[in-house]
Structure 1
Amino acid sequence: MARVRLIGPEPVTVPELGGRDVQPDEVVEVPDDRFEGYVCQPGTWKAVEEPKDEPKNEAPPVAAPKKTAAKALQKEG
């Protein structure tokens, strides 16, 4: 989880955090995929800890099998 600090002058209610009130200068954890939604408001939120680049539980990409070129057909004549 990423962390952001409320730098606004008044408490705000954050529905995404269960409707809790966040106080000025308080640091809260937010989902990594929502981090940008907070730091894009520079007058209200400041980044404290950015999302980690952890690999997701996805299989690595599989390379397509290589194919050999087909022989060109020769026209008789």
Structure 2
Amino acid sequence: MARVRFIGPETVTVPELGDRVVEPDEVVEIPDDRFEGYVCQPQTWESVEEPKEEPTSAPLLPMRKSAVKPQKDEV
């Protein structure tokens, strides 16, 4: 979870956070994927802790498929 500080002048209710009441200068945790939606409002929110980077994994290799056995025709 990322963290941002509310720098607005008055208490606000944030519907996205379950109608949480946020006081001026209060730090709140937000989902990492919503971080940009807060910090793009620099007059209201400032970054405290940015989202953690997702660990980079090795590229996925294609799955090997076993050979398909031919079906026997019933005579």
TM-score class, shorter = 0.7 to 0.9
Deviations 1:12-36 (A, max 9, x none): 1111111011000000000000000
Which contiguous aligned blocks of 4+ residues in structure 1 show a shift greater than 6 angstroms?
none
**Structure 2: runs of 5+ lacking an equivalent:** 63-75
Q: How does 1:29-40 map to 2 (within 5 A)?
A: 29-40=29-40
Q: Alignment RMSD, CA only?
A: 1.8
Consecutive unaligned residues in structure 1, runs of 5 or more: 65-77
Q: Secondary structure at the match of 1:54?
A: coil
TM-score norm. by structure 2 comes to 0.74
Matches of 2:37 and 2:54, distance apart in 1: 20
The alignment of Structure 1 onto Structure 2 pairs a total of residues equal to 62
